Amino acid sequence: MVRPDVLVESVAEVTPALLGDLGVRGVLVDLDDTLIASNAEELSSAAEAWLLALGAAGIAVVILSNGERRRVHRLAERFGLPAFALVGKPFWFAFRRGLAALGTPASATAMVGDQLFTDVLGANCAGLTSILVRPLTPGKLPHTRAARHIERIILTGGTRGSPVDR
């Protein structure tokens, strides 16, 4: 349940063509360490270009974040995107809220995020395509940094390179 459907280095690799191949018409996207570094105030030009490319391709986007409300809404308003902050990922109600705002069924929706235990787990449980990006920072909170260590073990198949689910 914590293995992503797609693993990429950054959102720039999540192109409209890739989403089309996956049958995706709507994207839920995490904010901190997916679109913007958790210690930054503005989106990078690459993240801005990605959002514009999705919009130009007719792919709906909603920001779905566990981040602080004021920060999330300030960044979302700049692009006219719907956004949900402190949403409660990985729980089902967070993804149901995002799907309602997108207007797409789970089968035609992807969740793009940087964390296995919130973004990927929640997306997989909700029936969405899960796309994991490499985090932009190690994380600013201690529990995020600890989770990143566990995520690396899972993604590499365990500490000795053998499958985790022995």
Domain that holds residue 130: 6-137
Q: Is residue 160 part of a domain?
A: no
Instruction: Measure the CA–CA gap between 137 and 33, rounded to whole angstroms.
Output: 6
Assess if residue 156 is contained within a domain.
Answer: no
**Residue 8 reports pLDDT greater than 90:** yes
pTM for the full predicted model: 0.91
Six-digit token string for 109: 């929706």
Q: What is the CATH number of the domain that holds 74?
A: 3.40.50.1000
Residue 146 lies in a domain: no
- Reported as a pLDDT band with limits 50, 70 and 90, residue 161 is very low
CB–CB of 131/110 below 8 Å? yes
Distance CA 29, CA 71 (A): 15
Number of folded domains in the chain? 1
Which of residues 151 and 11 earns the better pLDDT score?
Answer: 11
Please indicate, yes or no, if residue 163 is contained in any of the structural domains: no
- Residue 143 in domain: no
pLDDT at 159: 54
Which has the minimum average pLDDT: 61-75, 100-114, 145-159? 145-159
> For residue 151, is it within any domain?
no
33 lies in some domain: yes
